[in-house]
Structure 1
Amino acid sequence: MGSDATISPTSSISSSSSTSPAPSGYTTSRAFLEALAEGGVRYVFGNLGSDHPGILEAYAQARADGREHTLPELVICPHESVAMAAAIGYAQVTGVAQAVLVHVECGTQNIGGMLHNAAKGRVGVLMYAGASPYTQDGELFGSRNEFIQWIQDVHDQRGIVRGYTKYDNEIRTGANVKQLVHRALQIASSAPAGPVYLVGPREVMEAEAPTRQADAAHFPPVAPAALAPDVVERVAAALAGASRPVVVTSYLGRDREAVPALVELCEAAGAGVLESVPSHVNFPADHPLHWGYQWNDQNHNPLLEEADVVLVLGSDVPWIPAKNRPGPTARVFVLDEDPLKEQMPLWHVPAELFAMADLGTAVRQLRERVAELADTDAVARRRERAAVEHGRVFAARAAREAPDGETITPEYLVACVREAIDDDTLVLTEAITNYPTVSWHLRRTAPGSLLGSGGGSLGWAIGAAVGAKLAEPERLVVSLVGDGSYLFGVPSSVFWMARRYDAASLTIVFDNNGWNAPKASALGVHPEGTAARRDEFAGHFTPSPDLPGIAEAAGGAWGRTVEAAGELKDALAEALGAVRSGRSAVLAVRVPGM
């Protein structure tokens, strides 16, 4: 090769279009954001970094052009975990997946706990993270120009989330970015819903993109699946012919319209209902067929053990096998959009039939057939018996709702909350060891009026409250949380966001001055162990943090700590008044300690 063909060290850094901004100004970043909006994303909950100049430029250009309505609104989140929680909350209320924007692999790792909740709670969220630029000598526009872009370059960024996502991909060109976004949202929204993850290197996101691309209308979620006719016949015949049928559910209420259909099915069969680890209102608590709630109950449940037919309708943990499973002769049927729990390595329910179907569709199919098959007199007798059981179990719980002198018991606290709110109030529950107390004593009846995370990572509720309030601005939102889950929720970020985006809610903290859950777990395994004898569980919050003070300092919230039962109702009323005036409120309530 002649000397005139020698490439100089600087020849790749030229003034060509590859090292200049997109001539038209229409970039992959702009197309990406438009695709989100076209797919139904109203908010991008973002924590920004060095990988997002193209995103910020696209927003600025859209505002300058008077076309900001074509992009989702950017909601600034000072912590990635809160961004993810807010997106989950919005999606849980509306059923529409939202987007989370984070900074490369560092931001991706910061969403970890909430990613778990989205995956286990089956909530659609589209996560986008940039990736470190893949050129370093200025070969392309957007090439590396900050030291962190070498430090943040990792072998497999997408692998960080792959155990929790339904889909992941890299945006490699602006030519098909809308197709990738629409496909990701389609997968995120199709049952069982769940999180998806896209990454985009800076050079690609800064490059020019074609303006005409894929149509979001061609990427709808998969249509609901129905039960096969022979499955309907088999399950309906078992329910209709049973003497003690029981339905167990955890998240059927994710579909609000499925709840009244389940009521009609259970009335047609005379079947009692148990809610196991509920994350939704699955059945009205005041209905005479409601038999209560199961959590980490370490005792036998005779209503379940005596059942001859058990229908599991949407539940990951219908019972704890070592403690309160159905009897050995019970016929068990499992209907679910995810009947085999393929993401759970160890899981089994001894059932004679597993069927995949949309829960609402399946319930309506069964309702019609059971009504045709069931003997009216036999059903009347079952319903009468079930009503007696309902009255017995709920009366026993109601008897616990009085305070212990001036000591505020969790039961009394939840009873006071129940009296202070209406049926339409949205309650988010993350009370951990007081989960059962919230279920038994709040006694929600309206579909969609109670939400849990559906997962096991703490810190969801207060961030989710921001997303829920953005989804339904006129609705009162109340979070019931433990002091540990409150601190996990990054309240400094949450209440700043709530103030900036006019998303006020009430947070009520069960303040027992520590982590009670690890203590309960230790006692469950070592009830007579050294830790139990010495009362050493390493979970005390000493000195006690000023929980309302965090929210006051960060977001101007109303805050108060209450210790005496005689003060509770007035404090609740004052807190609710603050929220209705547009100001967030945090009421910490001292309950018996660890």
Structure 2
Amino acid sequence: MAETVTGGAAVVDSLVAQGVRHVFGIPGTHNLEIYRYLPSSGIRHVVTRHEQGAGYAADGYARVTGGAGVLITTSGPGITNAITALATSYADSVPTLAISPGPPRGTVGKDIGWLHELKNQQGALDAVCDRSIRVENADELPEVIADIFAGFTSRRPRPVHLEVPVDVLEGEWVRRSVAGRTAVEEAGFAGPTAVGVAGFGEPTAVEVAAIEAAFAGARRPLLVAGGGARGAAAEIRALAANGVPVLTTVNGKGVVDESDPVALGASIRLPAAHRVIAEADLVVAVGTELGDSDLWGGVAQAAKVVRIDVDPEQLHKNLRADLAVVGDARRALQFTTQQFDTSHVSEWQKAIRADADRDAGPWAAIQDSLKAALPADTVIAGDSSQVTYYGTVHYWRFTTSNRLLYPTGYATLGYGLPAAIGAKVAQPERPVIGLFGDGAAMFTIQELVTATELRLPLPIIVVNNGGYAEIREQMVDRGITPQAVDLYQPDLPAMARAIGAYGVEADSIDVLGELAAAALTADRPTLIHLLLDGTAE
């Protein structure tokens, strides 16, 4: 006999069919029918203390798994609270799915005083996501959600918002069998965990031959790898083994082992790296838009440029391509090159290191202390903090086992702590740390409650440089009297202990690694507060 349930079951059953194991979010008046069916579904729900935290956690979850992160909010303020997190996922091409209720059918835009009513909720989300989709009946949900997940593996992965009218969520639905991954697998995809690996367009044989010929005609080639190059990591490493230097964006950090003799690090923002791009006689840019957030400014047109991307709109942005190839970079780079002379690479590396050292400050020593004490496959959740973009990016040499979670494009504050939670929920066996400044920490410090409730063994390292130090420096450089940047500092270790976490003070950089290593085996998160010189009361 057919079972009559509500539309909330259609949402949950459809997520189960796509292999979803975790969702992040907060229940509210209009999404309760989803929560009716979660307990029996096998999906674990993680409740955060703010919807923005749920969005960042879903983003961190997606980055470490390669699959989709899912968040559930209520309507109105619930979903608008998550907008900054979704914009972060959009800027960095991260596949997240945000599900929220919407106004009842027939009431959109009517301004009737409905609880949580927005002028145009779907329009607001469509402005920051790849798309916002509204269904009009529960029977649409299985196919719509399957299409969203298939899209994550067959197009540039970016966040999608799904709006379900509250009367659809609460109305009757005759439960039916929901198809799983079969259709996706039959199309040649491996499911939602295959983002960046399979399913993208196939470059033509002529295009592959043209790329191979470009390498054959080069003496000083350079490969620039962005976040979209992760699926082609093996092919890029093969090129590096033949002497092709590899420079990465921050999102591409770790595509090649940064101790490789031809690795130039995630240093593309530095002037020396811009000169390297200009000096190369062939630049092959893979899976990157080469945007201002990557480069911290533009670069001059290189001698010859090949660009490979799944998004055709990326192929000439910021650096015009002489050869533009749309499709899966893994297939585009499946050829063998000659062995290149690498005698000049050490000079490139020295120039890049000299540039980085100008901003080294205490940031290099912090990375040295941590990387010496932590496992080789540690995930570092950073933030829009000096310790991340001056420190971790340049001075923590990643192996291919590491992963940096960093909000490159949108440059938001408050990302690191909830992203670390998402990463640890996704891969509990893997060491994960949070490492960011005190200014960033205070945007989402309430998520320490979430980590404590989950009993996650997370070292959360908060580097105290007195507030918004980078903005302070910019004010001084412009002749502006510093204001609103030197912040009152609460006793963060005491705050952590009041929450139920551990809280300790690091009195020197030298002990930081030891404290973080011990925190990896604790029975709850540990906030480690590092005071830099001059920041103590």
Note whether the superposition's TM-score is higher than 0.5. yes
- Find the residue that maps to 2:239 and give its secondary structure: helix
CA contact (8 A) 1:42 1:98 kept: no
Tell me the CA shift for residue 113 of structure 1.
1.3
- Which residue matches 2:133? 169
| Residue of structure 2 aligned with 1:451, choices 396, 401, 405 | 405
- Which residue matches 1:412? 365
CA contact (8 A) 1:48 1:103 kept: yes
Distance 2:453 2:224 in 1: 42
Tell me the CA shift for residue 391 of structure 1.
6.1
Distance 2:346 2:474 in 1: 34
Map 1:568-583 to 2 at 5 A.
Answer: 568-583=509-524
- Which residue matches 2:456? 503
Distance 2:354 2:234 in 1: 24
Tell me the CA shift for residue 395 of structure 1.
8.4
2:79 is the counterpart of 1:103: no
Q: Which amino acid aligns with 1:463?
A: P
Distance 1:153 1:485 in 2: 31
Give ranges in structure 1 of 5+ residues lacking alignment.
Answer: 1-22, 137-147, 402-407
CA contact (8 A) 2:359 2:390 kept: no
Tell me the CA shift for residue 577 of structure 1.
1.4
**Residue deviations 1:438-465 (CA, integer Å, cap 9, x gap):** 1221111124533323432222221111
Check 1:480–1:247 CA distance in 2 against 1; reply closer, same or farther (3 A cut): same
Map 1:500-579 to 2 at 5 A.
Answer: 500-522=453-475, 527=477, 529-531=478-480, 534=481, 536-541=482-487, 543-554=488-499, 556-563=500-507, 567-579=508-520
CA contact (8 A) 1:43 1:99 kept: yes
Check 1:400–1:47 CA distance in 2 against 1; reply closer, same or farther (3 A cut): closer
Tell me the CA shift for residue 291 of structure 1.
2.1
CA contact (8 A) 1:481 1:508 kept: yes
Larger Cα Rg: Structure 1 or Structure 2?
Answer: 1
Distance 1:252 1:206 in 2: 39
- Which residue matches 2:240? 266
- Which residue matches 1:87? 58
2:345 is the counterpart of 1:386: yes
CA contact (8 A) 1:481 1:509 kept: yes
- Which residue matches 2:219? 243
- Which residue matches 2:270? 297
Tell me the CA shift for residue 283 of structure 1.
1.7
Distance 2:418 2:99 in 1: 19
- Which residue matches 1:283? 256
Q: Which amino acid aligns with 2:147?
A: R
Q: Which amino acid aligns with 1:385?
A: H
- Find the residue that maps to 2:366 and give its secondary structure: helix
Q: Which amino acid aligns with 1:76?
A: V
Over the aligned positions, Cα root-mean-square deviation in angstroms equals 3.0
Task: Tell me the TM-score normalized by structure 1.
Answer: 0.79
Map 1:25-424 to 2 at 5 A.
Answer: 25-59=4-38, 68=40, 70-133=41-104, 150-220=114-184, 223-252=199-228, 254-255=230-231, 258-268=232-242, 270-294=243-267, 296-297=269-270, 301-317=274-290, 325-326=299-300, 330-341=303-314, 347-363=317-333, 365=334, 368=335, 370-371=336-337, 374=338, 376=339, 379=340, 382-387=341-346, 389-390=348-349, 393-394=352-353, 409-424=362-377
Distance 1:122 1:399 in 2: 31
**Residue deviations 1:225-254 (CA, integer Å, cap 9, x gap):** 232222222222122221211111221454
- Find the residue that maps to 1:26 and give its secondary structure: strand
CA contact (8 A) 2:248 2:265 kept: yes
Distance 1:198 1:294 in 2: 37
Tell me the CA shift for residue 151 of structure 1.
4.2
Q: Which amino acid aligns with 1:173?
A: N
The sequence identity of aligned pairs, in percent, is: 24
Check 1:519–1:334 CA distance in 2 against 1; reply closer, same or farther (3 A cut): farther
| Residue of structure 2 aligned with 1:491, choices 440, 445, 449 | 445
CA contact (8 A) 2:290 2:318 kept: no
**Residue deviations 1:279-338 (CA, integer Å, cap 9, x gap):** 541221101101233354356743222111111112222678896725x56111111122
Aligned residues: 515
Check 1:46–1:25 CA distance in 2 against 1; reply closer, same or farther (3 A cut): farther
Check 1:93–1:231 CA distance in 2 against 1; reply closer, same or farther (3 A cut): same
Check 1:125–1:219 CA distance in 2 against 1; reply closer, same or farther (3 A cut): farther
- Find the residue that maps to 2:234 and give its secondary structure: helix
CA contact (8 A) 1:187 1:196 kept: no
**Residue deviations 1:31-72 (CA, integer Å, cap 9, x gap):** 21011011111112121111023223334xxx5xxxx1x342
Task: Tell me the TM-score normalized by structure 2.
Answer: 0.87
Check 1:309–1:295 CA distance in 2 against 1; reply closer, same or farther (3 A cut): closer
Check 1:588–1:170 CA distance in 2 against 1; reply closer, same or farther (3 A cut): same
| Residue of structure 2 aligned with 1:475, choices 424, 430, 433 | 430
Tell me the CA shift for residue 400 of structure 1.
9.5
- Find the residue that maps to 2:156 and give its secondary structure: coil
